[in-house]
Structure 1
Amino acid sequence: MGLHIRTADRGFSTVAAEVPKPKKRRRRRRKTALPTRAPIIVTPGAADRVKSLLSTKEDAKGIRLGVKKRGCNGLSFTMNYVLDTPEDAKLTKLDEFVTCENGVVVYVDPGAMFNIVGTVMDWEETELSAEFTFNNPNSKGECGCGESFNV
């Protein structure tokens, strides 16, 4: 039988072992880009109405669409002018946008993108009202007056 002596001094090798180099992984590249879905679809009627609204406001270069918590059912659409100022340029820097056929630009707030994507924006005029309407495929329900929706 051999005698095994345990010492308090543990030694380490001063010679480094060769470590195999990691294998390079090949990344597969897509041959074609996937089509992207527009964040919002603006009908010609809505684009014409936005253009007429922008013509009355100096330095307006588009509108910004977003959502805000309000109404009876949770969320409501908001629309604001985007002016040609440094503050608005900074605000819309990360926004997605849609350029309509008539040159109107509709910006979409990044915080609202999840709730808005795929929405159709239209302008409807009746004998009693004239308003923008939003057909939102993400909406799970709306309040009776149509002011707000939930997703």
Structure 2
Amino acid sequence: MSVESFDPQAVTVEITDKAAAHFKKQLQADSNGARGVRLSIKESGCTGYMYVLDLVPEARDGDEIIHLADGVEVYLDPASLPVIRGTTIDFVTEGVNRQLAFLNPNARDYCGCGESFNIG
């Protein structure tokens, strides 16, 4: 049996300034009045899990909230925390493409298309 220590002050997910600016831009463009971005995972793809980002009006009960600059909030699904803990979210440019990148220390394998990952 192993024992994990839990530090409630530890950052669960780190969001770079570039990713925060991207989230702010997406929220400003949303016509449905979203106030935050909710991060969760779902079982999908060829390797197991995929990230899900939704623009939402508010956090759900139990969500962990990360407050970013300019009033932007990111809500973390509590059921997804064991898989996303320690992840850094960045907004990167690769050639002519710009996209969010998830640097997850828990991920072991990625599918060839980059849409899903495995933690096993």
TM-score when normalising by structure 2? 0.85
Q: State the Cα distance separating 1:36 from its structure 2 match.
A: 2.4
Q: Does 1:73 align with 2:47?
A: yes
Query: Which residue matches 1:139?
Result: 107
User: What secondary structure sits across from 2:75 in the alignment?
Assistant: strand
Q: Over the residues paired in the alignment, what is the CA RMSD in angstroms?
A: 1.5
Query: Which residue matches 1:104?
Result: 72
User: What secondary structure sits across from 2:35 in the alignment?
Assistant: strand
Q: Does 1:93 align with 2:61?
A: yes
Q: Does 1:53 align with 2:23?
A: no
User: What secondary structure sits across from 1:79 in the alignment?
Assistant: strand
Q: Indicate the structure (1 or 2) with the bigger Cα radius of gyration.
A: 1
Q: State the Cα distance separating 1:35 from its structure 2 match.
A: 5.8
Q: State the Cα distance separating 1:103 from its structure 2 match.
A: 2.7
TM-score when normalising by structure 1? 0.69
Counterpart amino acid of 1:50?
Answer: F
Determine if contact 1:75/1:150 at 8 Å carries over to the other structure: yes
Q: Does 1:124 align with 2:92?
A: yes
**Percent of residue pairs bearing the same amino acid type:** 36
Counterpart-to-counterpart distance in 2, 1:51 and 1:142: 28
Q: State the Cα distance separating 1:130 from its structure 2 match.
A: 1.3
Q: 2:14 aligns with which of 12, 27, 41?
A: 41
Q: State the Cα distance separating 1:127 from its structure 2 match.
A: 2.9
Counterpart-to-counterpart distance in 1, 2:118 and 2:94: 26
Counterpart-to-counterpart distance in 1, 2:105 and 2:9: 17
Q: State the Cα distance separating 1:148 from its structure 2 match.
A: 0.8
Structure 2: stretches of 5+ with no match in the other structure: 1-6
Q: Does 1:63 align with 2:37?
A: yes
Higher strand share: 2
Counterpart-to-counterpart distance in 1, 2:94 and 2:112: 19
Moved more, 96-105 or 62-71: 96-105
Counterpart-to-counterpart distance in 1, 2:77 and 2:49: 14
